[in-house]
Amino acid sequence: MKKESNRQLFEMTDRQELPNGVPKKKNGFASRFPHGVYFGSYVDSDIDKSLKFLLTNYKNSDSFRKTVNRYERKFVARSEQSPDDYIVIYHLTDLSSVNIVQKLCDYYLCNWFYCPSHGKFKFTRPDSDPFKPSIQDISVSRYIVNIEDK
* Assigned domain for 15 exists: no
pLDDT tens figures, 111-143: 788 888 777 887 776 555 556 788 888 888 765
- In the three-class reduction of DSSP (H, G, I as helix; E, B as strand; rest coil), residue 124 is classed as strand
Helix intervals (H) in 82-134: 95-107
Per the structure, the complete domain to which residue 124 belongs is given by 39-138
Domain count, the chain: 1
pLDDT tens figures, 56-89: 999 898 999 999 998 888 877 776 776 555 566 6
* Assigned domain for 131 exists: yes
* Assigned domain for 12 exists: no
pLDDT tens figures, 55-64: 999 989 899 9
* Assigned domain for 125 exists: yes
- In the three-class reduction of DSSP (H, G, I as helix; E, B as strand; rest coil), residue 46 is classed as helix
Q: In angstroms, rounded to a whole number, what is the distance separating the alpha carbons of residues 13 and 33?
A: 18
Query: Which pLDDT score is estimated for 69?
Result: 92
- Give the strands of the sheet with 120-124, arranged side by side: 38-40, 111-115, 120-124, 88-91
* Assigned domain for 145 exists: no
User: Looking at residue 81, which CATH number applies to its domain?
Assistant: 3.30.1370
* Assigned domain for 9 exists: no
Q: What is the phi/psi pair of residue 12, to 5°? A: -65, -40
* Assigned domain for 70 exists: yes
DSSP state for residue 131 in the 8-state scheme: P
How many residues does this entry show for the chain?
Answer: 150
- What is the biggest distance separating any 2 CA atoms in the chain, rounded to whole angstroms? 84
Q: In angstroms, rounded to a whole number, what is the distance separating the alpha carbons of residues 6 and 125?
A: 55
Instruction: Check the CA dihedral 65-70-75-106 and report its sign.
Output: negative
As to burial, measured by CB atoms within 10 angstroms (0-12 exposed, 13-18 middle, 19+ buried), residue 105 is: buried
* Assigned domain for 100 exists: yes
